[in-house]
Structure 1
Amino acid sequence: MAGWHEFRSRAWVWIVVVQFAFVNAAGLGTLAVVGPVVADERFGRTGWGLALAVQTAGSMLGGLIAARRQPRRALFVGVLLVTTEALPVLSLGLCPALIPLLAAMVLAGLAMEQFSVVWDVSLQENIPEDRLARVYSYDMLGSLAAMPVGQIAAGPLVEHLGREPVLLGCGVLIVVATLLALSSRQMRGLMRHRPVTLPAT
């Protein structure tokens, strides 16, 4: 129960976990199911593979940026960057062409990796070491459990509501969930214990 107490007693922790339940269901769940269908119709599976590749490249760049410097309000900035996760979904809904999708994927990859770094650092700086693994367990359960729900729901929703409304609705849901998370006073007030700036090599 000590891990559960650490999890629920810090609003910024469980708020991010709840946020990501929606972000992962609406973003990753939708992309995994609807993305390949759009690719088959518009630009082919090769283009879809390229989109996933540039997302990975963006993640690598985002990790390098986060490793070199993090602002004092790193978690606030990281959570704000999660809004970019809506870009690929909105791109498929509004303009299902390869070039806009590539730009959206690389930006989302870059931003999400920066969030991942500051999230891990925030947990490690603020959660007691002997309870950190338990908090990570609640984090993974809450953040990832909704992803298969999104994948299961994507097909029936598209069939009944149409592809474009579902994609646009999921993009809006990501943005709204993130803005609600940012409204938390604890989220806005959490500071890094010490700013990180690595020397140039």
Structure 2
Amino acid sequence: MLNNRVFDGVSARILVKTRRCQKKLWQYDPDTYLHCQKVAQVSYFLSHLLRLPSDAAQYVYLGALIHDLGKTAIPKIVLHKTGALTPEERAMMQRHPSLGREIALSIMKNVPETEKQVVLDVVEFHHERVDGKGYPYGMSGTEIPLAARIVAVADALDAMVSYRSYRSKPKNVKQALEELKHNSGYQFDRKVVGKLVEFFTTY
């Protein structure tokens, strides 16, 4: 769970509400909760590579911690299906960002907009693509908040290097970075991917 010492620029209200969202995730699906933990760590690291102010990086981290909150509204039989999704199941899955925003809003209803906006942006927009072919709204380029573009890259990286029920084995980090580079400027923000690749190739 959250460590208050990390969040010197974030209010106690948003931390408490984020914990409640995390608890909901953990209770419904521990695998999704753990995925969000890993994505949050990469997102926070990426935020610093992009030289975001400390408080902005903290809000990106909080959003990433609960970016898949909407999956608590998806039946587990769909969430963990090993075969291809039906069109109806795919449509259901593609609703999880907007469902996540609704759930987060219900939990964070007493938190001021200025404190929760970045968190909600991450939850709602992390599956948008810079080429406009993402979901749920088909936003493109800088229409997509930077926080969501950062988390989209971190989310994809963790998905590729982790075991999933729908594929035989994960990619290694080098393969995952190549995939991110291949889709840079289309699915993912070119600058965000570039900073991540630059770090791995330099260090």
TM-score of the aligned structures, taking structure 1 as reference length: 0.33
Using structure 2 for the length normalisation, give the TM-score: 0.33
Asked which structure has the greater CA Rg, the reply is 1
Which structure is higher in RCO with an 8 Å CA cutoff and minimum separation 6?
Answer: 1
Greater percentage in helix? 1
